[in-house]
């Protein structure tokens, strides 16, 4: 029986590249594709794939919240997070969300097959940097960071995080309401709760919070990026 993989990335060109890579592997098939996190959650529920590969920087619902929602729906989902950055914070959030694999997009051609193979064998796959971070956490604290540890940031509900992302992407409360099938009044209530919990005072503050906490990701022109650092651009 074939291993069924669901791919979620907002760039079709990346999905094509990933598909080409994964389908070379005998016994694997890409059973579905999604272009944002919400679509990924819906398709995962319909298709029940063996492995879900999610990009972190997706519109509407980012890959970290997608992972949380997937595992909330079914803790048996095996999720590999694909990311352009292996910053400590993204790693911690991916681990906290329950990802079982973590692969840098820049290394996907090399690491992704190994990551899927690891999950297929009921193991986990992380980049060396993740291993270093986990080990450092173990040595410093005497234990590996746990999914049950209280987060250092004020806790937003899954719905509040979705609303935060959509507002930070520039959508109006009415547009958010339409996307989430909620009333505008409910979205306004979520928005007030978010601002209160996070002690924010404006949408500008919310956008800054969303960027700092990897809820949305920024594009940077090449002039202000250092050599060797590159987004999937």
Partner 1 sequence: MTIRILLVDDHPIVRQGLRTLLEGRPGWEVVGEASDGLEALDKAASLNPDVMVLDVTMPRMNGLEACRLIRKRTPGLEILFVTQHDSPQMMREAMEAGGRGYVVKSNAARDLLAAVEAVSQHRVFTALTRNVSPVEAR
Q: Please, what is the minimum distance in Å from the beta carbon of residue 21 to partner 1?
A: 6
Map the footprint of partner 1 across residues 79-138, applying CB under 8 A: 105-106, 108-110, 112
Q: Please, what is the minimum distance in Å from the beta carbon of residue 54 to partner 1?
A: 15
Q: Which range touches partner 1 (CB under 8 A), out of 12-20, 85-93, 153-161, 165-173?
A: 12-20
**Cβ-contact 190, 163 below 8 angstroms:** yes
Which residues, including other chains, have CB under 8 Å from residue 172's CB and lie 6 or more apart?
none
Beta bridge partners, 8, equal 34, 54
**Alpha helices (H) in 121-216, listed in sequence order:** 128-141, 158-168, 173-180, 184-198, 203-212
Q: Indicate the residue among 139 and 218 with the shorter CB distance to partner 1.
A: 218
Helix, strand, coil percent content, the chain, rounded in steps of 5: 50, 10, 35
Retrieve residue 93's tokens.
């959030």
Would you give the DSSP letter of residue 29? E
Per CB under 8 A, the list member of 20, 158, 208, 211 interacting with partner 1 is 20
Binding mask 183-202 for partner 1 (x = CB under 8 A): --------------------
Q: Please, what is the minimum distance in Å from the beta carbon of residue 154 to partner 1?
A: 31
Asked whether position 145 contacts partner 1 by CB under 8 A, the answer is: no
Q: Provide the binding-site residues for partner 1, judged by CB under 8 A.
A: 10-21, 105-106, 108-110, 112, 219-222, 225, 227-233
């Amino acid at each position: 029986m074939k291993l069924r993989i669901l791919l979620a990335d907002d760039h079709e060109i990346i999905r094509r590249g990933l598909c080409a890579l994964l389908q070379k592997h005998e016994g694997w098939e890409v059973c579905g594709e999604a272009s944002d996190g919400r679509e990924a959650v819906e398709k995962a529920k319909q298709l029940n794939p063996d492995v879900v590969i999610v990009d972190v920087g997706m519109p509407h619902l980012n890959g970290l919240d997608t992972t949380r929602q997937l595992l909330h729906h079914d803790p048996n989902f095996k999720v590999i997070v694909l990311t352009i950055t292996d910053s400590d914070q993204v790693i911690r959030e991916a681990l906290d969300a329950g990802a079982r694999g973590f692969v840098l997009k820049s290394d996907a051609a090399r690491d992704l097959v190994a990551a899927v193979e690891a999950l297929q064998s009921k193991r986990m796959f992380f980049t060396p940097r993740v291993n270093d971070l986990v080990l450092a956490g173990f040595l410093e604290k005497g234990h590996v960071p746990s999914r049950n540890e209280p987060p250092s940031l004020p806790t937003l509900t899954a719905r509040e995080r979705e609303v935060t992302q959509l507002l930070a992407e520039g959508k109006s409360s009415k547009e958010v309401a339409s996307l989430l099938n909620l009333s505008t009044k409910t979205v306004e209530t979520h928005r007030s709760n978010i601002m209160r919990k996070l002690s924010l005072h404006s949408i500008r503050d919310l956008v800054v919070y969303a960027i700092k906490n990897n809820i949305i990701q920024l594009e940077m022109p090449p002039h202000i990026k250092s050599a060797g650092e590159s987004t999937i651009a």
